Amino acid sequence: MNPITELQHEHEAVRTALAILSVMADTAKTSGRLDIDAVDDLLEFLRIFVDRCHHGKEEKLLFPALEEVGIGRDGGPIGVMLAEHRLGRQAIAGMGTALMAYWEGDSEAAGLFAAHATAYHELLDRHIDKENNVLFVLAERHLSAGLLAALAEEFAALEREEIGVGRHEAFHHRLDELAARYLVDHLAHRAGGGLGHGRPCQCAG
């Protein structure tokens, strides 16, 4: 697959995750409650799939390739994307801290989670638009067919190294489960209760 197309497809999965996160944030704001297990799974998706894998492909491979053909970092689109990646990591860390505090019984933690989640959603939504409509257009215009083919192979190798064989599909399967629950059935679920009580994951991200 063309590596730029691959990144665009991954953006679609990220937007699904953002929609789920928005429902979780709304629930946290209105009810003061978090489904610990589901939120923990979504945060793992954001830490590992979105940041370590997707952003890793951009930071370690795509951005350097663009710099080699004259697309500047400082003061240019690459610098903006890198700064927004850092802000995203901070928001994910904030959500993780709030989730742990909620698990430990902090009554203010759900509201704090919602604030970080809303900030992350707004940031990543704009970020994806910038990449799709500006950065990826530059990539398609300036990277040769040979460079794109090499990037595709490097993307596959990075994914194997960062998340392991088969983990990509597992992440998408779990995301589909969360989407079915929160984007279709979340109102019925909220009415019926059923919050998870597992300890939040402390995955490195």
Q: Any idea what DSSP says for residue 73?
A: S
Question: What value does the mean pLDDT take over residues 9-23?
Answer: 96
| CATH class of the domain comprising 3-192 | mainly alpha
Given a cut of 50, whether residue 186 has pLDDT beyond it is no
- Extents of the domains making up the chain: 3-192
Rounded to two decimals, what is the model's pTM? 0.87
- 43-52, 78-87, 117-126, 157-166: lowest mean pLDDT where? 157-166
Given a cut of 50, whether residue 189 has pLDDT beyond it is no
2 vs 96, 99, 109, 148, 157, CA distance in Å?
Answer: 34, 37, 42, 7, 15
199 band by pLDDT with thresholds 50, 70 and 90: very low
Q: Any idea what DSSP says for residue 193?
A: -
Structure tokens at 166: 């088969």
User: What percent of the chain has a predicted confidence (pLDDT) above 90?
Assistant: 78
Cβ contact 198:35 at 8 Å:
no
The mean pLDDT of the chain is: 89
Which H or E element spans position 100? helix 77-103
Please name which of 84, 173, 76, 92 lies closest in space to residue 123, comparing C-alpha atoms. 84
